[in-house]
Amino acid sequence: MVKIDKNIFFVEKTSSTMNEARTLIKRDCESFAAVYAGVQTEGRGRFENRRWEAGELENLTTSIIIRESDFNISANLIPIMVAFSLSKFISTIISDSHIKIKWPNDILIDHKKISGIIIERFKDYYIIGIGLNLNKINFSNKWNNLGTSLYLQTGKMFSPYYILKKYLKFLRETIIDSSDKDIIEYVRARLFGIGKIYTIELGTPKKKNRISGKIMDISDFGELRLLTKRGIKNISSAEIIL
C-alpha cells in the first residue's frame, strides 16, 4: 500500500479494501483517508455470496475512513446518508432523473446497479466500502441485465483516482452541510420500488429470513416501511431482492 496523495492510498491488488482500511486505522490515519485498489478479488457485500470484484481500471473499489465524531447526523442514518451523498455526486455526471436509491444503500441507474455500499464500525471509526462501476463494459451472465457503469451511461472513460479525489471532497461537504431532514427527503424522492411488491431478505448470512410486501416509504429514522399481510412493518436492516 502506497500513499499517493495527502489522504489517499493505493494498493495494486487486495482481497478487500476494507481490510486495508483497518490497517490504516491501526496506524492512526486521519479521518477522511481512503484506500483504493487496482484489483480487488474478494470485496465484501452485505451477504457472503455477494462480492464486489474489480478488474484493473474497470471500477472504483475503495474504503473511506471517517471518525465517528465527524458525523453530525443520527447514527442510524449513516447508511442512507452515504447513498444520499454518492447519488448526488453521480448526478453531477449523469442526469438525476435516472438515479434511484435501492434501500438501504445501492445506487441504480434506470433500474441497473452502478454502485454498492457497505459500512462497518472499527474502533472509533466508520469504514465506508464503495464499489462504483466506472469503465466496466462486460458483466457476468448473472449481472448482464442488472449492472451498468459510468462509461455505458456517458461513453466516457473515468480515472478511479480522479473520481475518488472529487468524491472525498464532495462527501466531506455533504456531511457538514446536510441535516437528517435533508437526507430523508432526498432519499424518499428517489426511493426505488415505491408502490411495488418485493421480497426482502433479513437476518444474517447464516440465518436468513424472507418476507414480501409493498414498499411504502422510509421512516424518519431511515427504516424501510413495508406493507405486509400483517400490516406495515418498519425494517432497519435487510436487502431488497431484485
206 shares a domain with 118: no
52 burial via Cβ count (<10 Å: 0-12, 13-18, 19+) = buried
Q: Which three cell numbers stand for residue 99?
A: 438515479
Query: Looking at the predicted structure, is the pLDDT value of residue 104 above 70?
Result: yes
Q: In what order do the strands lie in the sheet with 239-241?
A: 231-235, 224-228, 207-218, 197-204, 239-241
Element (H, E) at 61: strand 59-67
Which pLDDT score is estimated for 95? 87
**129 with 11, same domain?**
yes
User: Taking a C-beta distance cutoff of 8 angstroms, is the pair 32, 26 a contact?
Assistant: no
Q: Are residues 113 and 228 in the same domain?
A: no
Query: At residue 48, does pLDDT exceed 60?
Result: no
Here the cell at position 76 is 442510524
Q: How confident is the model at residue 119 (pLDDT cuts 50, 70, 90)?
A: very high
Do residue 81 and residue 164 come from a single domain?
A: yes
Structural domain of residue 230, as residue ranges?
197-241
How far from 195 is each of 18, 106, 140, 227, CA to CA, in Å? 35, 18, 30, 9
CATH number, domain containing residue 216: 2.30.30.100
Banded pLDDT at 44 (limits 50, 70, 90): low
Same domain, 116 and 14: yes
Same domain, 62 and 146: yes
Could you tell me the three cell numbers for 110? 434506470
Pair 134, 182 in one domain? yes
Q: Are residues 110 and 150 in the same domain?
A: yes
Instruction: Let me know whether 143 and 218 are in one domain.
Output: no
State residue 205's pLDDT score.
62
- Tell me the C-alpha distance between 118 and 9, whole Å: 19
pLDDT at 204 over 80: no
User: Last residue of a domain, which of 173, 189, 205?
Assistant: 189
Q: Which of 12-26, 129-143, 146-160 has the lowest mean pLDDT?
A: 129-143
Report, as an integer, the average pLDDT of 22-28.
96
Same domain for 119 and 174, yes or no, is: yes
pTM of the model: 0.90
Angle between helices 78-90 and 160-177 (to 10 degrees): 120
Give the total number of structural domains in the chain.
Answer: 2
Residue 123 and residue 151 in one domain: yes
**Which one of 189, 210, 232 terminates a domain?**
189
The answer to whether 116 and 45 are in contact (CB under 8 A) is: yes
Residues 183 and 122 in one domain: yes
Between 16-20, 56-60, 70-74, 229-233, the lowest mean confidence (pLDDT) is in: 56-60
Residue 153: give its domain's CATH number.
3.30.930.10
